[in-house]
Each structure stands twice: as C-alpha cells, then as structure tokens.
Homo-oligomer: A and B are copies of this chain.
Amino acid sequence: MASSAPARPTGTSSTPVPLKWVGPLRISSPALGGTQEISVPLATYETPLWPSVGRGARVSTMVEEGIRAVVVDERMTRSILLEADDAATALAAWRRLEDSREKLQAVVATSSRFARLIDMHVQIVGDLLFLRLELTTGDASGHNMVTLAGERLMDHILATIPGVRYVSPSGNYCIDKKASAVNGILGRGKNVVTEILLPREVVERRLRTSAAAVEKLNVRKNLIGSILAGSLRSANAHYANMLLGFYLATGQDAANIVEGSQGVTRAEDRDGDLYFSCTLPNVIVGSVGNGKGLPEVDEALRLLGCREEREPGENGRRLAVLAAATVLCGELSLLAAQTNQGELMRSHVVLERGAGRGDRVQAPPAQDPVS
C-alpha cells in the first residue's frame, strides 16, 4: 500500500520570485516611438543575472541610439488536425480552404474582435491534414484566441467540406512550447531583431575585451558549439535566462521561453568597433490576458509603459521590444566576460560575498557563468 500522504496546504497561495529593476537601457525602436531610456524588471532565483544585464544596460546608454530594435513580424498560431478520406481528399480540402479565405476570415471574426487570419500553411501526410492557422491577436499573446478561432474554423470546415473528420484542436504543427524549427521559419509571436554598434573604447573599457575577441568567441561557441550540440535554430549563450526573468515579472506564460530560447547572436568586428545583434524570432508576450491583472504584474506593465491607450497591438509590440533589448544586454555581458579566462568565476565569488553581506555588487557580473 501507498504510504499516507503528508499534510499539504489547501487553497491558493503564491511563490514570491525575487525581482529587481535593472537599467536603464537605451533603446531606439518604432515600437517605442523613438529613443527611450527605460528600466526593466527581472524576476529570478538566479540573482547574478541582475548585474549581468545591468552591465549590458549601462553600455547601451553610451551609444546615441542605444539598442536599435525592429519588429519584423507578429502572429500567433494554432494547427488544427483533420483526417481525410485519402491524401487526394486532403489536398482538395486544402485548395478549397485557400480559395475561401474571406469566408474563413469571417468565421474567425466571430470568435474575437481582435483575431484576424493573416496566413495559413498546410502539411499533408498520408490522409492527415495539418492546418496551421496564423492570426494577429491584438495585445494578447493570443494562445486562447487562436484556440477559440481554431475551434470555430474546425466546426466550419467539418460542416462545409466533405470527406474530412475531426482529429484534434491542435496537431502540434502550431507548435507551442516545444523545440522546433517551424516557429522560426513560419513565425510565432513577435520576431524582434536588436542590434547595437559599440565603439572600440566602450568595448575595451566597459567590457574589458575587444570586438575581435567577441566575434571569435561568438563564432566558436554560439555558432559552432551549438551546431555540434545538435541545436536547432539556436545560436546564443543564454537568451532563456533573460526571457524567463522578464516573462515572470510581466505575467507572461513563461513556458514560451522554450521557443524564445531559439535565436541567433551575431558579433562582428567592424574596424575595432563591435557590431552586436540578437535576433529573437519567437518573443511570445502580451500586455493583456492571464496573469496580467495581478497587482505586481499590473504595476510592472504600467511602469514599462504598456498600460497606455494605444492601437491594439502597440502595447504588445512595445513589450516584445523591451524583452528583446533585455536579452541583448545579458547576452553581450556574458560573452564579453567569457572572452577573459577566469573572469566569470572571480566575479561569481564577489557576487556571492556581496549577496552574503546584503551589499550592492560592483563587480563585473555574469549570470550562470558558462551557459
């Protein structure tokens, strides 16, 4: 027999995750309406992350435009799964769906006033039909919105197209919170590109390294090392750390760091200056939705300027740009530190002593020393 269960708390409580505002970062982006200096909140148990991102943030303020950020694309997706009489029937169904986008748009409109169908992709595998629905979802990350739209479309398809049958409201060709290639190729969430050009003296004095050293390390570790590990569309040091901290602080569904982690860092020595760029194809955030009403989250969103009256989608894009710029700060700081033998371990010792004394930490910082 099973041993008896220990007593356990009932009802709902909460786990407080340590949070600190880091910055300010200087960011230039159409999504911010120009150039801004702004601090960002990071909730994490791995507190060395704070000074690490902080160092990157300080560096961003030493360049006129700071971190430049553009939102290349945005969409949320759901793939419904149908079974057809055979592959030919599946193909015929797909062609019919392609030809009736206007009607499908109308069906989607019944599910939400923010949902809009912007594209569809298909995979036919034998007699199975995976239909990837791609929608804009206003300021919401949109998980529930695409699910509801998907169910409505499923009902419509089953009612109007012969020879197809229900299999699942999701066929994993969406794909949510799994390591895959489709989200980077077809898009899911906000695709944000960030970049900064750091003058040689900033690289040398503030990051204690050189553009050439960072470029070389990035190629060998983030590109080649990741390739050897059998990575998939992942070429970075630790995007997941920054995304997790930012997502938790702003009430996001942080399990989306799985695809969020899949981005590409570039570093190039440009005549001694450092071109540094982080491309994050799958920043999945919203300024409304589950969790956003909690007081601490609401306050964080307000301080980030994401509670303003704006066109639908603008608050969401703003949030995505802030998340991506935060990633750049942490990525830059860690790579710079790793170019110098022993720096990470030394800074960690300092950080831990500081933490032990409750002091502010001045040392060259780095989170998880060797992600």
CB proximity of A214 to chain B, nearest CB, Å? 11
Measured between alpha carbons, how far is A246 from B170 in the docked complex, in Å?
Answer: 24
A174 & B128 in contact (Cβ 8 Å cutoff): no
Query: Which residues on the B side are within 8 Å of A36 (C-beta)?
Result: 2-3, 5
Pairwise interchain contact A35-B172, C-beta atoms closer than 8 A:
no
Give CA–CA (A9, B46) in the complex, Å: 19
**CB–CB B19/A17 < 8 A:** no
B15→A19 contact, CB < 8 A = yes
A199 within 8 A of B: no
CA distance A368 to B174 in the complex (A): 13
A183 contacts across to B, CB distance below 8 A: 229
Q: How many copies of the shown chain assemble into the complex?
A: 4
A167 & B217 in contact (Cβ 8 Å cutoff): yes
Chain A window 182-196, contacts with chain B (Cβ cutoff 8 Å), 1 for yes, 0 for no: 111110000101110
**CB-defined contacts of A16 to chain B, threshold 8 Å:** 14-17, 294, 296
Say yes or no for A272: interface residue by CB 8 A criterion: no
A residues 187-218 with Cβ under 8 Å of B?
191, 193-195, 217
Residue in B125, B229, B249, B305 whose beta carbon sits within 8 Å of that of A224 in the complex: B125
Within 8 A of B (CB), among A107-124: 121, 123-124
Residues B303 and A168 in contact, CB atoms below 8 Å apart? no
Task: Mark interface residues in A144-162 (1 if CB within 8 Å of B CB, else 0).
Answer: 1001101100100000000
- Whether B125 lies near A264 (C-beta < 8 A) is yes
**A106 in the interface (beta carbon within 8 A):** no
Given A3-B34, A124-B72, A261-B177, decide whether A230 and B230 contact each other with a Cβ distance below 8 A.
yes
CB distance from A139 to the nearest CB of B (A): 16
**Complex: A191 Cα to B176 Cα, angstroms:** 23
Nearest Cβ in chain B — how far from A355, in angstroms?
Answer: 10
Across the interface, A15 reaches (CB within 8 A) one of B194, B225, B255, B297, namely: B297
Known contacts A72-B124, A147-B369: A179-B81 contact under CB 8 Å: no
Do the beta carbons of A180 and B3 come within 8 Å of each other? no
Task: Kindly supply a per-residue 1/0 record for chain A positions 350-371, scoring 1 wherever the CB is within 8 Å of any chain B CB and 0 otherwise.
Answer: 0000000000000000001111
B66 touches A2 (CB 8 A): yes
In the complex, what residues of B have CB within 8 A of residue A221's CB?
81, 167-168, 170-172
C-alpha spacing A305/B4, complex, angstroms: 12
**Nearest Cβ on chain B to A340's Cβ, whole angstroms:** 9
Q: Does A20 contact B (CB under 8 A)?
A: yes
Q: Which residues of chain A from 5 to 52 have a CB within 8 Å of any chain B CB?
A: 5-21, 23-24, 26, 30, 34-39, 41, 43, 45-47
Please judge, given known A-B contacts A12-B20, A45-B291, whether A277 and B170 are in contact too, CB under 8 Å.
no
Q: Can you sample 19 A-B contacts with CB below 8 Å?
A: A2-B66, A3-B35, A4-B37, A5-B39, A8-B21, A14-B17, A14-B19, A30-B88, A46-B255, A70-B88, A87-B193, A124-B191, A147-B344, A177-B241, A178-B226, A178-B261, A181-B231, A230-B233, A244-B254
What is A's interface to B at a CB cutoff of 8 Å? 1-21, 23-24, 26, 30, 34-39, 41, 43, 45-47, 66, 68, 70, 72, 78-79, 81, 86-88, 91, 121, 123-128, 130, 143-144, 147-148, 150-151, 154, 166-186, 191, 193-195, 217, 219-238, 240-241, 243-244, 248-249, 251-255, 257-258, 261-262, 264, 266, 275, 277, 279, 290-291, 294, 296-297, 300, 303, 305, 338-339, 341-342, 344-345, 348, 368-371
Q: Which 4 pairs across A and B sit closest by C-beta, in order of nearness?
A: A45-B291, A181-B230, A179-B179, A172-B225
